[in-house]
A and B are shown apart, each in its own frame.
Chain A
Amino acid sequence: GAGVSQSPSNKVTEKGKDVELRCDPISGHTALYWYRQSLGQGLEFLIYFQGNSAPDKSGLPSDRFSAERTGGSVSTLTIQRTQQEDSAVYLCASSLAPVGSSYNEQFFGPGTRLTVL
């Protein structure tokens, strides 16, 4: 079956522009997570969704970052007024069981490599 997919795989943008990154989780997975992988910070948690709800947004680096999930499926991570320090690989993961219910393996997508010039 299909795994987690992300699009685009690569995105190059100019400083100050807005970008949208998309994540398609595994069908039926209720939980969805966003992580960022950068040279300076390693892998860091950004936000998670249980269904369409994001209970904890404290991992988002700044108010330029936002995310939404619709229909309990696709999620979009939006970065407004991009800065060079936003350059990173953005990873999405999904898991089957509701968050916190039991051991919940997260399956990762291939990531979107964002380069801000």
Chain B
Amino acid sequence: AQSVTQLGSHVSVSEGALVLLRCNYSSSVPPYLFWYVQYPNQGLQLLLKYTSAATLVKGINGFEAEFKKSETSFHLTKPSAHMSDAAEYFCAVSVPGRDDKIIFGKGTRLHILP
């Protein structure tokens, strides 16, 4: 079975500082990995995805994530936080070639301090 663990339900960073949201996964087969963002009162939006190509994945809004098989991690980073980045972020995993259902982490709410 697949699972995702996000470390920290709330993370606060200052505007302009590095954003680091941590995600570790568990999967018995090579997974697909995703980061989704949810702005207040809005639906889920795909930030970026790893589908077994390049291990460093670049997404929208300046975010990127690196797949590290040895650490079973897929942490999300952004060099410089912006106020508009305040949202909830979900790490997720799916198993390719099966039912494509996405297993989500519990989410991390990112707060940006002025």
Which of B15-23, B65-73, B76-84, B103-111 interfaces with chain A? B103-111
A33 to B101, CA, bound (A): 8
A45 to B98, CA, bound (A): 14
A105 to B92, CA, bound (A): 12
> Which residues of chain B come closer than 8 Å to A43, judged between CB atoms?
90, 92, 104, 107
A31 to B101, CA, bound (A): 11
B43 contacts A103, CB within 8 Å? no
A44 to B104, CA, bound (A): 7
Q: With both chains docked as a complex, state the minimum distance between the C-beta of A12 and any C-beta of chain B, in angstroms.
A: 16
A14 to B29, CA, bound (A): 44
B107 contacts A45, CB within 8 Å? no
Question: What residue of chain B has the Cβ atom nearest to residue A98's Cβ?
Answer: B100
Which residues of chain B (85-114) have a CB below 8 Å from chain A? 90, 92, 96-107
Q: With both chains docked as a complex, state the minimum distance between the C-beta of A46 and any C-beta of chain B, in angstroms.
A: 9
Q: With both chains docked as a complex, state the minimum distance between the C-beta of B41 and any C-beta of chain A, in angstroms.
A: 8
Question: What residue of chain A has the Cβ atom nearest to residue B51's Cβ?
Answer: A103
Given A33-B101, A43-B107, A48-B100, A105–B49 Cβ distance below 8 Å?
yes
Question: What residue of chain B has the Cβ atom nearest to residue A42's Cβ?
Answer: B106
> Could you mark each residue 89-101 of chain A with 1 if its beta carbon is under 8 Å from any beta carbon of chain B, else 0?
0010101000110
B interface residues, Cβ below 8 angstroms from A: 32, 36, 42-46, 49, 51, 90, 92, 96-107
Given A42-B106, A103-B32, A111–B43 Cβ distance below 8 Å?
yes
Q: With both chains docked as a complex, state the minimum distance between the C-beta of A100 and any C-beta of chain B, in angstroms.
A: 5
A44 to B44, CA, bound (A): 13
Q: With both chains docked as a complex, state the minimum distance between the C-beta of A25 and any C-beta of chain B, in angstroms.
A: 13
Given A42-B106, A91-B44, A103-B32, A55–B99 Cβ distance below 8 Å?
yes
A35 to B96, CA, bound (A): 18
B105 contacts A45, CB within 8 Å? no
Which residues of chain A (9-59) have a CB below 8 Å from chain B? 31, 33, 35, 42-45, 48, 55-56, 59
